Amino acid sequence: MHSVSAHGATIPALGFGTFRMSGPDVLRMVPAVLRQGYRHIDTAQIYGNEAEVGEGIAASGIARGEVFLTTKVWVENYRREAFLRSVDESLRKLRTDYVDLLLLHWPHEAVPLAEQIGTLNEVRATGKARHIGVSNFSTALMAQAVALSDAPIVTNQVEYHPYLDQSAVLAAAREAGISLTAYYAMADGKVFGDAVLREIAARHGRSVAQVVLRWLVQQQGVIALSKTVSEERAASNAAIFDFVLSAEEMAAIAALSRADGRLVSPAGLAPAWD
């Protein structure tokens, strides 16, 4: 599995995401994908499936140290004491004494960013998180987080797919040595009927999903999260490191972006997007 390096973190370039995945599906899929070769699992407190993720990793037969495990602190837990308690609860559910990456899940102005970043650093200092990062941060918020943090911010996890231009965030992340972790890569299924993507996929003898994931990981510093409840599709999604998209194909996919391409922008959480 290829990896992305950022400020001392070595992050597998393809991760398995568990957003909106039921407990039984997580219990089935996490061991399956780890046995297939995935080494990056992504969850969050708000997903409600950390316990199943932990059980799935334990059941996989893959040593904990070989799995890059990410979870995210929910906004209601951003005050220091609640933050620390919530991390301990996450670790109990995940059946581990550390996560490889701990993220702030969304910006949240009710708690000063300095307090959020300070507690994130405190958790890292205790060894309960090997690395720290943010999610759904704009370029301005990302810069503030970097300035406030003693430890390096290693990723910003954001919505990223062919219909959403994230070039500004990606450029800012690269400038700061931060990786970009892409979620919603399939644009909630919209990519599968796209004529441009289907033509590129046919040219390579690949699926549209493989082309989209390849487009993401072929970009410098970009990590892609894939999600499926099918073991067959999970195996297919992982088979993206044995072909290369041409510069023209990369550009043609990027050109699919549009002004209304953003799909995830919840009121009360979303920042002023770039």
Q: Which residues are catalytic?
A: 47
pLDDT at 40: 98
pLDDT tens by residue, 1-29: 699 999 999 999 999 999 999 999 999 99
The answer to whether 157 and 183 are in contact (CB under 8 A) is: yes
> In the predicted model, is pLDDT for residue 207 greater than 80?
yes
pLDDT tens by residue, 121-169: 999 999 999 999 999 999 999 999 999 999 999 999 999 999 999 999 9
Alpha carbon of 24 to those of 28, 53, 171, 259: distances in Å? Answer: 6, 10, 39, 37
Burial class (CB in 10 A: 0-12, 13-18, 19+), 185: buried
% of the chain surpassing 90 pLDDT: 100
Average pLDDT over residues 179-185: 98
pLDDT at 4: 98
pLDDT at 56: 98
DSSP conformation class of 75: G
Token representation of residue 177:
């040595």
Residue 38's pLDDT band (cuts 50, 70, 90): very high
Average pLDDT over residues 28-41: 98
Residue 47's pLDDT band (cuts 50, 70, 90): very high
What is the rounded CA–CA span in Å between residue 98 and residue 116?
Answer: 19
Pick the CATH number of 12-187+221-229 from 1.10.1060.10, 3.40.190.10, 3.20.20.100, 1.20.1050.10: 3.20.20.100
Q: Is 136 left (phi over 0), alpha (psi -120 to 50) or beta?
A: left
Backbone angles phi, psi at 208, to 5 degrees: -60, -40
